[in-house]
Structure 1
Amino acid sequence: MNLTLADAVVAAAKAEAERSGFAVAIWVLDSAAHPLAFARMDGANLGPIDVAHKKARTAALFDTDSLRLGQAARPGGAIYTLEHTNGGLVSFGGGVVLRDRSGAAVGAVGVAGATVEADEAIAQTAAAVLRV
């Protein structure tokens, strides 16, 4: 993962968010959960900056999309309270593992500021840039 690829992921997320009528915050992290790129679209609130970062960190640190982890992090689930580890995580949609063409994890993207469903769709669209 490098800055050129990270910028392409951000551009794809911004384009999908604009197409869907949302203003979002977008983080791209490398596979060690270190920042590579960030954007907050005009009109996006401030709160989603941190949420998007935590979504991306969750996906990067666990090599699993945040939506998928959320299924087991619900009350009574095997990893309930996971969100309180690693300096704060998020267990709902919008954090997606970035994989190269061979399927190897190279980082993660986090999107926040729309609905949870739209955040997830935007992040999935952005992640698909690396698989082309």
Structure 2
Amino acid sequence: MSLTLAAAQTIISTALAHARSRSAKPLAVVVLDAGGHPVAFAREDGASLFRHDIARAKAMGALGMGDDTRVLAERAKGNPVFFQSVSVAVGGNIAFSPGGVLIREAGTIIGAVGISGDTGDCDEDCALAGLRAAGFNQEIPA
């Protein structure tokens, strides 16, 4: 199982189209494979300087911790010292805000998408729209 460039481009183009339909702020979107290597990236005109870095940190954090960043953010509320230590241990390569979503194929993690630019809820919604368009089922097998 692997994440193709075509699938990554579908995720990005759909996420950005969904963002425009919501009148979201300009976004940066990155798609990483399971090893954390970039497959595709886009930054909308007007997206601020650090948006790429934040989007990548969301995707890397999801991959590294094995869960979407919405879940990680909730966990961090209950154990802030541990998650601060994680952030230090990984050189800040993690972000605790919704918008980092794992990509699964047949229940196996094959990558992650990270989006930054609007609220975490909006970023995550755009990521999920992109994943659906690319045919990825986000249900976690029991």
Equivalent pairs counted in the alignment come to: 131
Q: Secondary structure, in 3 states, of the residue corresponding to 2:135?
A: helix
Find the partner of 1:39 among 39, 42, 54: 42
| RMSD across aligned positions (CA) | 1.7
Find the partner of 2:99 among 91, 94, 97: 94
The normalised TM-score by structure 2 is: 0.84
Contact 1:32/1:61 (8 A) holds in 2: no
* Amino acid paired to 1:92: S
Tell me the CA shift for residue 103 of structure 1: 2.0
- Asked whether 1:125 is paired with 2:129, we answer yes
Contact 1:65/1:96 (8 A) holds in 2: yes
Contact 1:48/1:112 (8 A) holds in 2: yes
In the alignment, which residue of structure 2 is the partner of 1:105?
109
* Amino acid paired to 1:11: S
- Asked whether 1:12 is paired with 2:17, we answer no
In the alignment, which residue of structure 1 is the partner of 2:71?
68
Contact 1:52/1:95 (8 A) holds in 2: yes
Q: Secondary structure, in 3 states, of the residue corresponding to 2:77?
A: coil
Tell me the CA shift for residue 79 of structure 1: 3.3
Runs of 4+ in 1 over 4 A off after TM superposition: none
Tell me the CA shift for residue 78 of structure 1: 7.4
* Amino acid paired to 1:90: A
Q: Secondary structure, in 3 states, of the residue corresponding to 2:82?
A: coil
Contact 1:13/1:126 (8 A) holds in 2: yes
In the alignment, structure 2 segments of 5+ residues that lack a partner are: 138-142
Q: Percent identity?
A: 33
Tell me the CA shift for residue 97 of structure 1: 0.1
The normalised TM-score by structure 1 is: 0.90
